[in-house]
Structure formats: structure tokens, C-alpha cells
Amino acid sequence: MTKLSAGIIIIGDEILSGRTQDTNSNFIANHLIKSGIQLTQISVIQDLEDIIIKKVIEYSNEYTYVFTTGGIGPTHDDITSQSIAKAFNREYSFHPEAFKILKNYYPEGQFNEGRQRMAKMPSGVELIHNPVTVAPGFKIENVFVLPGVPEIMKKMFLNVLENIEKGEPKKTITINTNLYESTISLLLNDIQNKFSKCSIGSYPFFNFVSKKAGVNIVISSWTMDSLDEVVNDIENMIRLKGGKSSIV
């Protein structure tokens, strides 16, 4: 089976300034992993044409799928569509179907110049349906251009996901232990070396209310048929070190 990869480009000065929290990349990432598509990189970039062009070309050449969010609204700083048109050397003009969809949506006299801008796209794109506000996104080559508003983006992304090739989901198991990371780090490294086709990550935690601490050990693999042997080795190691463990 062909390995499917993806990159996410979050476009927006409001994300970089801290005014708006990015939740889109987390939502997309979770669904990609479940769909057997390996997310390799996420970039958060400014609303600047040169940066958008450079990053979109880079990602398009590198990954099976590219997802961008942000910058396709009606205001002057929404420059994603025209920047991507330049990235792929396409004409930037009104998309007839998008224009018709938007014109039919707004009451007579309210389809103003700003709203009309949302119908301007690179030539030859495939529209992505918007079930919330109707303003469509678009697909150009392997790049899916989506809005930044999370409630709208999520519905449009799920629609995209239904219609693209998917792979086998990533296998993931989390083991919780009351031992400290320093107690198990060397032995955990030995287990990782034994099972090179999986990834083993350790994530310490501390509960300030209960004063309890420990580690969550996350085992994941795209290629192994089963993680049972890895889990058994880790659970045995924890037991030998006098700790407790549970699958969470």
C-alpha cells in the first residue's frame, strides 16, 4: 500500500499574535491519523504572499495531501486564494459556479464587493462545498484550501476526507504507570531499540490536587500488525521496577 502523507499550513496573523487559538490543526491531525494518513509537518505562517507561495509549493512537492486553513474570507487581508493562484501559475478570477452559489445565497442587494471576493479563485479548481455559509473552498492539484473559522472548516474537511484515498489507521496504545520517567528511561530505551518499527514516547504528568505523578507511555506504529508484544515487555518492565500499570 502506498504511504500517504500530509502537511497542514495554518495561515493567519491572528494565530501568530496569540489573539486566536489554533484548533484546526489538532482536529485535522486526529482525523488524518484515524484515516491512515501520516501527518508529517504543521506550519503556522503570516498573511504574506511570498511566504504563502513558498510554503504551499514546498508542501505540495513534499506530501500526498496539503491542507491550508485561513485567508479566504471577504476582507482585504484574505490573500490566500490569490497567493495560491500565483504559486501554481493560474489565473486569479471569478469562479462561475462559486459566484452563482454566493449570489443566490445573499438577499437582493447584499452581494457586495467584499462578498464577491470569496468567489475569486485560481482557474481550473474543484470547489469544496460549504454547508454552513455556502462560501466554498477549493482543491488545486493536491492542495485543499479551507476557511479558518473552526465550525465551518471542520464540516468542510470531513467532506474532503470522505473523498480522498485513505490507508490503514495508525495503531496506538497508551500505558499509564505510577513510576517516574527517570526510573524507566533506560529500560524503555532498550525496548524501543528492540522494536524499531514502532515509536515509544514517554510523557510525565503531575496531578497537583491528588499529588500523584507518573508517566503515560504511548506506543504507536503504522506498520506493525500488533502492539501486544511491545505492551507486554513494557508492563513486565514496570512490574519488575515495583510499579503499577494500566491501559488508558
Give me the DSSP letters along 16-36. Answer: HTTSS---HHHHHHHHHHHTT
> Per-residue pLDDT tens for 174-230?
999 999 999 999 999 999 999 999 999 999 999 888 888 999 999 999 999 999 999
| Distance set, CA 232 to CA 9, 36, 198 (Å) | 38, 25, 14
Residue 3: DSSP 8-state: P
Residue 154 one-letter amino acid: K
Checking if the pLDDT of 80 tops 60, the result is yes
Q: The dihedral of CA 58, 22, 170, 192: what is its sign? A: positive
Alpha-carbon distances, residue 113 vs 116, 119, 227 (angstroms): 5, 10, 56
Report the pLDDT value the prediction gives residue 73, as an integer from 0 to 100. Answer: 94
Look at residue 2 and tell me whether its pLDDT is greater than 70. Answer: no
User: Tens digit of pLDDT for each residue in 187-198?
Assistant: 999 999 999 999
Spatial separation of the C-alpha atoms in residues 136 and 175, rounded to whole Å: 42
Predicted confidence band at 169 (pLDDT cuts at 50, 70, 90)? very high
Nearest partner of 31 among 147, 166, 143, judged by Cα: 166
- Amino acid identity of residue 53, one-letter, is I
The β-bridge partners of 143 are: 66, 140
Q: Is the model's pLDDT at 1 over the cut of 60?
A: no
Residue 102 near residue 116 (C-beta atoms within 8 A): yes
Residues present in the chain in total: 248
pLDDT tens across 119-160, in order?
999 999 999 999 999 999 999 999 999 999 999 999 999 999
pTM (predicted TM-score): 0.90
What are the tens digits of pLDDT across the range 25-69? Answer: 999 999 999 999 999 999 999 999 999 999 999 999 999 999 999
